[in-house]
Chains A and B, each alone.
Chain A
Amino acid sequence: MVTVEAYGITKVFSGKKHKKAVVALDAVDLAVPQGEVYGLLGDNGAGKSTLFKTFFGLVKPDSGEIFINGHIPSSAFSRSNVGYLPQNPKFPGHLTARQLLLLTGYLYDMNDRDLRERIDGLLKTVGLHHWPTLKIKKFSKGLTQKVGLAQALISDPDLLILDEPFEGLDDKDKPELMKVIDKVRSESKTILISSPFRSDVESLADRIGIMKKGRIVQTIEMNVLREEEKCMFEIEAGMGGKVVDIPAEIGIKLRVSTTNMVVELVDEEKINYVIDQIRKMGISIRSIKPLKTKLEQSLYRNIKTTVEPEPESNSEVAV
């Protein structure tokens, strides 16, 4: 079953006074089946948030059709089984986290007893139970994103749409939120998640769409990408003229020079065997890095304007 369907979605924001008209969405097609985690990557201004907003009827497309759980966005039914965390959410600042969740539950027409139990659980899950009386207007960015995620999850929806959920989060908050989303993912929910950074979505997504100037220019199956990535390594070492023997059941050497070697292994863990072999020969290893595949290079090329590949030193394995 397809949860999110969008066909030929186009939206042009007409220019006011001296400003030019902006094509925010240009004939976007998207189909996300039930249980899939779909990551949407792209620049700021690429159209990710606008696309998500069209799913809720917050932005009305000039042309095209959208169906959310089989309903058109103008129907309230289309939102009955969907949780949404907007980009830079602004919740009623005069409410506490619990009050916001109560209000959200009311809007989903939830049973009062179930709602209160769910709120207790969610506040603990996202770590907001420590601030029972603090009003949202006094929340940090991290706390706001946490309460945003909690309100998106309050009705236990089958479809979760998260627009840049990690934006502005520090190193402490980000993994916590990632953990919660990963838990939701393990429950076979459909998730749409957007970010300008690949690292935000790669561990979660089954498929990644790359958005550029209002179009989805490329879609990548993450299992294919992961399979290709994990098997190729470039080893920088002073080989000299020495030959390192790699049996066929471990992998093959693709390129060998006096200073480095590129190997394709049958699985990721076989790199340990290669390292052991090199050390046995008394060769010192300077670095080992997983190689970017053609597919990944293409991904970087498409979102290069904002998403630069991680510095190579980050992906190197210190030996």
Chain B
Amino acid sequence: MGIFKETLLEFFDRKQHLAGMVVTVLGLLLIYLGLSKRLDLVDNNLDTAANVTVFAIGALQTFVSLMVLLAAVSTIFLFTKLSRKGQVEYYLSKPITRGSFFLSKLFSIYFIYAIALTALCSMVGIELIGLGVISLAQFGYVLSVNLISFGIWMSVMLFVGMLTKSVTYCFASLAAVWVGQLVLTGRESWSAGEQFGRYLLDTIYYILPNTSEMGQMAQLLATGQAVSSWLPVMTSVVLLLLLIYTSKSRFQRLDF
């Protein structure tokens, strides 16, 4: 029994696997219904198999990114708990350094949720592969990019949770970042002609995590198209590392 197993038991105790299963079953049904219609069109020569593949990858990406967001929301309670008085005192009174405990807990949470995400999303993947509309490699592209996205969302929740100790602020920041990045994706159309405004919006855009753009990249990679710029992934990963480092430093300074 280590920190990983303890975190795993908490995951099952909170019945998060059951919530994930319910969403997955709904996803399986919706994707099946949507694809059945498209496959009928292909059978009647009204659509092409390539179009159906693009549709299927889009549906898969939507489902996986939704699961990623749900998983990120689920971790909020775990991270706010880490910064509050209570259970942490039990751990920190044992011969383990704050840094080791923090990283053990963080990686345990990440891996448990990543495994759960992989297992649940694989059910949808198997459905799509079974229907012959995507390949295993295409599923792999979508899943792996989204697992990086999950890490980024998790680091945002960790940072806000550690800073504010508030579940409400974590929810609010998740919503703000989500909306912010979506809005900023269309920044080029607003700032035409204004150099300063464009630089400013670009800076904000690249400071925020770019998970929605990463989702688009996953679709491009899965459909064999070229990715024009890897900058959003790189800046998001840098942000992830920075947020984890800052949260760890904050955790090491907290009084319990």
Contact = CB atoms under 8 A, between A and B. Distances in A.
Interface of A: 13, 53, 56-60, 76-77, 79-80, 82, 84, 86, 89-95, 99, 102-109, 135, 151
26 contacts: A56-B89, A56-B92, A56-B93, A59-B255, A59-B256, A60-B253, A77-B95, A79-B94, A80-B95, A86-B89, A90-B89, A90-B90, A92-B9, A92-B10, A93-B13, A94-B10, A95-B9, A99-B6, A103-B3, A103-B5, A104-B94, A106-B1, A106-B2, A107-B94, A109-B95, A151-B90
Interface string B169-198: 000000000000000000000000000000
B87 interface: yes
Interface class of chain B by DSSP = helix
Contacts of A135: 13
Nearest to A104: B94
B175 to A, nearest CB: 26
B97 interface: yes
Interface residues of B, number: 26
B19 interface: no
Contacts of A108: 94-95
Given A94-B13, A103-B2, A76 B87 contact: no
Task: State the 6 A-B residue pairs at the shortest beta-carbon distance, nearest first.
Answer: A94-B13, A102-B1, A107-B94, A90-B86, A84-B93, A80-B95
Contacts of A59: 255-256
Contacts of A93: 13
A99 B87 contact: no
Nearest to A75: B97
B138 to A, nearest CB: 38
Nearest to B256: A58
B245 interface: no
Contact of A86 (B3, B93, B96): B93
A80 B92 CA distance: 11
Nearest to A85: B93
Nearest to B87: A90
A106 B90 CA distance: 13
Interface in B209-256: 253, 255-256
Given A53-B256, A59-B256, A86-B90, A103 B1 contact: yes
Nearest to A89: B90
Interface in B83-130: 86-87, 89-98, 100
A95 B93 contact: no
B9 A79 contact: no
B87 A79 contact: no
Contact of A107 (B14, B91, B256): B91
B3, B6, B10, B87 interface centre (most CB from chain A within 10 Å):
B6
A315 to B, nearest CB: 37
Contacts of B94: 79, 104, 107-108
Nearest to A151: B90
B93 A58 contact: yes
Nearest to A115: B1
Contacts of B95: 76-77, 79-80, 107-109
B188 to A, nearest CB: 43
Contacts of A103: 1-3, 5-6
